[in-house]
Amino acid sequence: MTKYRVSHTTTYRYGEPVTVSHNVLHLAPANTPRQRVESFTLDITPAPAVQHTRADYFGNRVDCFTVQDQHHQLIVRAESVLDVEPAFALDAHVTGAWEQMRDHLHHPQGDDEVLASEYRFDSPMVPTGPEYAAYAAESFTPGRALLDAALDLVHRINTGFVYDQKATMVTTTVPEVFVKRRGVCQDFAHFGIACLRSLGLAARYVSGYLETQPPPGQPKLVGVDASHAWMSLWCPGIGWIGLDPTNDCLASDRHLIVAVGRDFTDISPTKGVILGGGTHEVHAVVDVSRI
């Protein structure tokens, strides 16, 4: 087991006073078969007048709060400690032909598979279409093993698209990313999901954190990490398999899961509605460290 401490601070600064602020957070790491949350705390300034926790449709923890004191700045600090097991070794060639895996989802067996089959369809930020199926078809050749084909798709996205933080925004659509061939982790995950779903496979969006590694001989700097996003693919008989197009790899014990959904709109780390505020800016600082 590897123990991590994650610190995620989001600061909103407003040009004019905010009189009321309603907020929804997906910041608490998930408990999964390979990940156990030891502690999670929220520190919100100004202090909320109302605060509660619930679970969303996808089983993620959601923290909701309302600030009713007039303020020019809102700070949300989330602190987590969690244990993560190493990912199990998986031979990509033993996952079965992808067409058989796809057809299996049309007649799901058991509750887990029924829920997984819901991720085959369009969602607000991830359309399906023949253009995405055609892109994926180069990897998903007839009879190829499901995971072997998926890893090839991940590699093609990684090498065929340019990581560019200035090219897109959180609202950038999959068709725009497909044309630009540029973007960030959110864009690459959305595009990969569009390709998989367009073939009839079940794929979901995963938000979380990735432990970064400093250059050889250099110390790890505090606050240089960031929220991360990747995708996961349902493989009948195995379950969800995490795939990271940004880093051209399977998700590992360095990938810390916060929430899962159809796309970014389901599990945005922070979102809300304010009264007042005028122009505003948002600044986020994330630090992931091994204990």
The CATH architecture annotation of domain 92-264 reads: Roll (3.10)
48 or 105: whose pLDDT is higher? 48
Q: What is the pLDDT of residue 90?
A: 82
Confidence (pLDDT) at 223: 43
What percentage of the chain exceeds 70 in pLDDT?
97
Predicted confidence (pLDDT) per residue in 191-208, tens digit: 999 999 999 999 999 999
What's the pLDDT tens digit per position in 242-275?
999 999 999 999 999 999 999 999 999 999 999 9
Spatial separation of the C-alpha atoms in residues 151 and 256, rounded to whole Å: 20
Is 214 or 67 the better-scoring residue by pLDDT?
A: 67
> What architecture does CATH give domain 2-85+268-290?
Sandwich (2.60)
CATH 3.10.620.30 range(s) for the chain read 92-264
Q: What is the pLDDT of residue 219?
A: 63
**pTM of the predicted model, to two decimals?**
0.94
Question: What residues does CATH 2.60.40.2250 cover in the chain?
Answer: 2-85+268-290
